[in-house]
Structure 1
């Protein structure tokens, strides 16, 4: 069955309402619900256009505003809501914004901010808030010449042309796009982060960090993240959702974070309507449209691309990054159990090197045999140190963070320093009993010659169909069989997740980049290393023996 996680803060006091298990010692949860019920929504079908606060949304509101510390301050400071499309999460966040702009949570001079992927999406959030300013006040579009639409009863000023609303008491709400430079340098008491999975135009971690840092300067601030499932794991949205999952499961103790996660497990039957109802809390109330979901499911039966879209946006099944993946990443992740690399010191090993030009990664991968039919691999990644943050922005991954954590080594300059790469190769040959060092000869002639002259077993392994297809086939077999251990190295995983597999008429598979910005260098090197380990290349000779085999004679 689908999994819906929700952390229940440990507070002893209990209130008396429709949700008696939700602590509300000061009645703030109840007053928040009462205020939202007093709102009117232009599209509501209820009498008088009353705001439709359905039970699942009411429960969230009560969990946010009910539980309190002994000093009366709110326990929850961050809410992570993962819910499929069509469940009116934008309407819910608009109501929360109204709570802080005109309702009982308002604070003199407060800054309220919502951030969406682009200007169009930001405008949608803004219109939801503007439409609830007053039941008798119809939202007015841009009146021209910077004119302001004013609610005479409440004094709220709606500035459509800049997506800003000024509430009484100097409270300002502004809707921003994730690529807006003005999103930084603020001290918001409320942040609505909408569809974080789509924040791609800027480095989202930089924006997220700046917004959170500003909110931390304000007492009792609140951040609400609402999103549908994304793709890949090397992104801000996955980091946020994964943290919320760990809080929900009790792996991390953080009462200040409220996880509300409606998602189906990867192995769930996506055609089962019971799954749809469990993951979409609004279905029982008529949204999203059930017949519309049924039609999409019928099309998805025969269109794999449509199936992935249905699973992601309507069941919140987090997707792999590539549209034509080499392997199911949930299967790949079974090899993520950590291991101690020192256990393989002085053991037979096979190295593979993928050298880069310009902005690509350079990678060395070592492969060890693990029993009769398994492999253990470990990578070393290199990238240019210059403009590291710009490269992170371009590729959408945290190069600086990976560098700080030792998963990637930046070398001085704007290209990878091959001298440093060669130095690491020599060190590895001293540490392990290296049988072969496989290179794609492109860009590698000088390094191969240097190593061969000193007796290291450098060989050519061209990255064409003839050489790579058998290596990739063996790699695939090992991963599917659960015989491929990689220790969960995040950069290597990102490379595997980027692979767009191509198959020829004979069934041979080769690796390709899904997009121009994707990097697959580590995956290519892993296939090369596993292929040579499987072939047992170089077992007759090693660098520790007196006679080395010339590199130009060892061509696979």
Structure 2
């Protein structure tokens, strides 16, 4: 099913307008006054005063000033989608300082977390610079650099920079957590540890600052979708504050008016990020699609669907969903493509069935060892897809090839299977077993010659909206991950090593649909192949 972004404004209007931000207990004013009293070693303001621009100040007033009638915190989670170069790490470090300052609780834990150690230390370095720029702060805090720790001497409240190592996270009960660049997190162990730790402490606050990411099957996208729903009023949650500086997916990425709207720092004096640098990036990106997508993601916060250099638009793929009713197609000619890959990984069986109206029904079943499903902790929902029936779990830690063979035999009993195409490299035993029973087994070496025509046919069928794939979410994910290699002649094939994640279901789909189109037309892939590639004829 297509996940269309919800309709919200490109940025929260209250950040820039003059509406009154509630501050019944003066905690917003207290926070702002504290930050303005700080110094920053890189500041160009008189006395190296900490630069708190208007858009940042209004966010702080909203987070800390909008309290409940009893004075307790109303906002418990902040999700701030802010483009690169808008000093979000400096803002995050300032928030962490608040929880060692006026928001301090004796003995409390304040943490910042990032995907790796170097990223995690960025906020720490910002805080060290702020502390070192003010003699009174140097007296008040002990900086333990090797332990990534800062301690308020008198109260024992302390700050810790953490990377994605769950072993160091469980058991902690932070009152404040800054999560940086969540879109880059591959595992959710640290995220889960922080979330469960925060709920143990009354008045805790979680702040996520991130740029847009790639793909829909990750932690950051889960948070982004929730933030969009809250911003659109589809979900009522006054404890969750969405701050979304983003361009629409169809807006002109070259329009500087769009840049100014979604980069809050460009409203400041002097402006940031460097607009001349952005202009140069756009000039270069005009001729490099990968750079264009990078610019849209990181500088305009457009959430990308799949690979960083996507081969195909998933919007087009979604328009091919249709209603797939296999039972109504039983008995029709069908072509099967199999991608077995490695036995510790995914395998996929795709079946393409030409329909009377000229479209092609495309059914893909993926297989995965149960152990690999348990190990997938990066937000890609293998377990959900298993429960929904798109993914078949095989016992243990390796794929049970007999289960796949049985599945192919079951398909052959329901459909008139014209061909079962395999890459022999991982499938010799299965191919031999099926062939001995009279199944129409064919070898499909996964080289550029054999893939060249099927890739063209797969792409053309998708662009013509002539697939009917039923909205298979696992297949959608795989299609969004595909990266193609092209040779000097323009022949293309999918490359697993360059793709953002697994592509096995998409590979099987390309094989099956390509063979179906060629088989139904009476054309052979060998007739279309580049005959200079002798590996085509290798047995």
Q: Residues of 1 paired with 2:320 and 2:495: CA distance? A: 23
Structure 1 residue 462: deviation in Å? 4.2
- Does 2:75 correspond to 1:90? no
Quote the residue 2:451 is aligned against: 468
- Report matched runs for 1:470-485 at 5 Å: 470-485=453-468
Whether the 8 Å contact between 2:214 and 2:308 is mirrored in structure 1 is no
Equivalent residue number for residue 547 of structure 1: none
Q: TM (normalized to structure 1)?
A: 0.81
Asked whether 1:346 is paired with 2:330, we answer yes
1:454-509 Cα offsets, whole Å, 9 max, x none, are: 56554444444454322221210122233334344333233223322123444332
1:90 is displaced (CA, Å) by 1.0
Contact 1:65–1:74 (CA under 8 A) maintained in structure 2: yes
For residue 226 of structure 2, the aligned residue among 213, 231, 243 is 243
SS at match of 2:188: helix
Output aligned runs, 1:71-470, within 5 Å.
Answer: 71-103=70-102, 105-133=103-131, 136-137=134-135, 151-152=138-139, 155-167=140-152, 168-179=154-165, 181-200=167-186, 204-285=187-268, 286-319=271-304, 321-322=306-307, 324-335=309-320, 339=323, 341=325, 344=328, 346=330, 348=332, 349-369=334-354, 372-386=357-371, 388-390=373-375, 392=376, 397-400=380-383, 402-403=385-386, 406-430=389-413, 434=417, 436-452=419-435, 457-470=440-453
**Residue 483 of structure 2 aligns to a residue in which SS?**
strand
Q: 1:78 Cα shift?
A: 1.4
Is this contact kept in 1: 2:36–2:49, CA < 8 A? yes
| Contact map agreement 2:24 2:66 (CA 8 A) in 1 | yes
Distance 2:38 2:231 in 1: 31
> Helix, strand or coil for the counterpart of 1:151?
helix
Query: Is contact 2:166–2:190 with CA below 8 Å preserved after alignment?
Result: no
The residue that corresponds to 1:552 in the other structure is none
Counting only pairs closer than 5 Å after superposition, residues 46-57 of structure 1 correspond to structure 2 as 46-57=45-56
> The residue matched to 1:223 in structure 2 has which SS?
strand
Q: Is the 8 A contact 2:293 2:309 kept in 1?
A: no
Question: What whole-Å deviation, never above 9, does each CA across 1:247-292 have from its counterpart, x for those lacking one?
Answer: 3233444333222121223332222211111111001211112222
Give the deviation of 1:174 after TM superposition: 0.6
User: C-alpha offsets along residues 348-375 of structure 1, whole Å, 9 cap, x if unaligned?
Assistant: 3443222233333111123344663433
Q: For the residues of structure 1 that align with 2:287 and 2:194, how far apart are their CA atoms? A: 43
Partner of 2:57 in structure 1?
A: 58
For structure 1, which segment, 28-37 or 106-115, has the greater mean C-alpha deviation from structure 2 after superposition?
28-37
- Structure 2 Cα separation of the partners of residues 30 and 499 of structure 1: 50
Q: Aligned to 2:10, which of 4, 8, 33?
A: 4
Residues 229-256 of structure 1: per-residue CA shift (max 9 Å, x gap): 2233333333322332233233444333
**What is the CA distance between 1:449 and its match in structure 2?**
4.4
The answer on whether the counterparts of 1:109 and 1:172 sit within 8 Å (CA) in structure 2 is: yes
The answer on whether the counterparts of 2:150 and 2:158 sit within 8 Å (CA) in structure 1 is yes
Q: RMSD over aligned Cα, in angstroms? A: 3.3
State whether residues 350 and 437 of structure 1, in contact with CA within 8 Å, keep that contact through their aligned partners in structure 2. Answer: yes
Question: Could you say which residue in structure 2 is the equivalent of 1:520?
Answer: 503
Between the aligned partners of 1:372 and 1:111, the Cα distance in structure 2 is 64
Q: 8 Å contact 1:79–1:258 — kept in the other structure?
A: yes
Shift in Å, 1:396: 8.2
1:477-516 matched pairs, under 5 angstroms: 477-515=460-498
Deviates more, 1:501-510 or 1:355-364: 501-510
Shift of 1:83: 1.1
CA deviations 1:183-242 (Å, max 9, x no partner) are 333111111011122334xxx212211111111211221111111222333333333223
Partners of 1:111 and 1:405 in 2: CA distance: 40
- Give the structure 2 partner of residue 14 of structure 1: none
* Contact in 1 for aligned 2:290/2:309 (Cα 8 Å): no
Q: 1:423–1:25: structure 2 CA closer, same or farther, 3 Å change rule?
A: farther
Contact 2:324 2:470 in 1 (8 A): no
Query: SS of 1:307's equivalent?
Result: helix
User: Is the partner of 1:364 in helix, strand or coil?
Assistant: strand
Which segment is superposed worse, 242-251 or 184-193? 242-251
Shift of 1:526: 0.6
In 2, the alpha carbon distance for the partners of 1:302 and 1:454 equals 53
User: After alignment, is 449-458 or 468-477 more displaced?
Assistant: 449-458
SS at match of 1:386: helix
Structure 1, gaps ≥5 residues long: 9-16, 139-149, 540-556
Q: Secondary structure of 1:132's partner? A: helix
Q: In 1, Cα distance between the equivalents of 2:58 and 2:470?
A: 40
Once the two structures are overlaid, the 10-residue window that deviates more, 423-432 or 213-222, is 423-432
